[in-house]
Amino acid sequence: MILIDGKKAAAELREELRKEVVELKNKHNKVPGLTVILIGDLTPSQIYVRNKEKSAKEVGLKSEVIKYPDSVEEKVILDKIDELNKDDTVSGILVQLPLPKHIDKQKIIEAINPSKDVDGFHPMNVGNLSSGYESSVPCTPLGCYLLIKKIEPNLSGKKAVIIGRSNLNGKPMTQLLLKENCTVTITHSRTKDLKAECLEADILVAAVGIPELVKEDWVKKDAIVIDVGINKTDKGIVGDVAFDEVSKSARAITPVPGGVGPMTIACLLKNTVECFKRSQL
């Protein structure tokens, strides 16, 4: 069994990006810039944003975090996004989710210039990804994809089963695996026999937010299992996969923590560098 080391893969990706940023700086006399907007004081969001800032600085990006209180008006955020859209030193803009209830998430996402949308959430990027054109790709599925490719470079004809149909994970993951010529099944809360579907998978991606849902007898021997779940339980943080059981039969599996999580942030940096490069063409 291969334990997929997301921390190591993320460190390798950051190192590649650090070298690339040095080259870009030499070539263009400027570095890619990432601006994160954080609204309110939710602890998980604060931790994510702090980690994003730290990693961005580590690879040499210009990094800025703009914080607003929970009570900020939507118009203030829309005006700031407009300003950042026009700012040449900003290559990528990320508005940390979730947002306070009085702010319209879709309006915020659509205000970001698609060429600076490092989350890949703008409908233009969603459409480009599903049409197979160049686009920003949401960071978590991109991280999963890179981990899968490290284990199995040729995915053509493989059966992939995804648990979860969110815009953040399940749907973009589907597009990435389709592009690799996988046969993809998307499952969700209304799927009739989830276990039977999972048993078909050469590649199983669990992104549903149910602690240890996937059991050993749900997984084909030699499957690659990617666990996107981060669930707080009495036992601490666990994934959507019962790791101790499933790791006995899987070909390869990501742990939680230390699997997909570290790759998500590294992919945000990758997206920022990609947005910068496209803006310099």
In this structure, is the dihedral angle defined by the CA atoms of residues 200, 204, 205 and 206, taken in order, positive or negative?
positive
Does the protein bind ligand GUN through residue 97 (CB under 6 A)?
A: yes
Does the protein bind ligand GUN through residue 94 (CB under 6 A)?
A: yes
- Determine the interface stretch with ligand GUN among 24-32, 88-96, 124-132, 206-214 (rule: CB under 6 A): 88-96
- Determine the interface stretch with ligand GUN among 19-27, 89-97, 220-228, 230-238 (rule: CB under 6 A): 89-97
Q: Applying CB under 6 A, what is the total number of residues that bind ligand GUN?
A: 7
- Determine the interface stretch with ligand GUN among 5-13, 62-70, 82-90, 92-100 (rule: CB under 6 A): 92-100
Quick one: 105 or 195, whose CB is closer to ligand GUN?
105
Which of these is catalytic: 52, 116, 158, 270? 52
Give me the numbers of helices (H) and strands (E) for the chain, helices first please. Answer: 10, 11
Q: C-alpha angle with apex 6: 211 to 138, nearest 5 degrees?
A: 75
Does the protein bind ligand GUN through residue 96 (CB under 6 A)?
A: yes
Quick one: 191 or 231, whose CB is closer to ligand GUN?
231
Quick one: 37 or 194, whose CB is closer to ligand GUN?
37
Cα–Cα distance for residue pair 54/40, rounded to 1 Å? 20
**Region 112-141 residues binding ligand GUN, contact defined as CB under 6 A:** 119, 139-140
The CB-side HSE value for 30 (13 A sphere, CA atoms) comes to: 12
Provide the minimum distance between the beta carbon of 95 and ligand GUN in the complex, in angstroms, as a whole number.
6
Quick one: 96 or 247, whose CB is closer to ligand GUN?
96
Cα–Cα distance for residue pair 259/239, rounded to 1 Å? 10
Cα–Cα distance for residue pair 160/117, rounded to 1 Å? 27
Quick one: 140 or 254, whose CB is closer to ligand GUN?
140
Q: C-alpha angle with apex 185: 184 to 187, nearest 5 degrees?
A: 145
Polymer length in residues for the chain: 281
Does the protein bind ligand GUN through residue 53 (CB under 6 A)?
A: no
Q: Is 52 a catalytic residue?
A: yes
Map tokens 């284990």 to a residue: 151
Cα–Cα distance for residue pair 31/20, rounded to 1 Å? 10
Q: C-alpha angle with apex 191: 126 to 3, nearest 5 degrees?
A: 70
Q: Is 88 a catalytic residue?
A: no
Provide the minimum distance between the beta carbon of 45 and ligand GUN in the complex, in angstroms, as a whole number.
7
Q: Could you give the 3-state DSSP secondary structure of residue 191?
A: coil
- How would you list the strands of the sheet with 33-39, edge to edge? 62-68, 33-39, 92-95
Does the protein bind ligand GUN through residue 11 (CB under 6 A)?
A: no
Which of these is catalytic: 62, 80, 96, 171? 96
Q: Is 244 a catalytic residue?
A: no
Q: Where along the sequence are the contacts to ligand GUN (CB under 6 A)?
A: 94-97, 119, 139-140
Residues with active-site annotation: 52, 96, 119
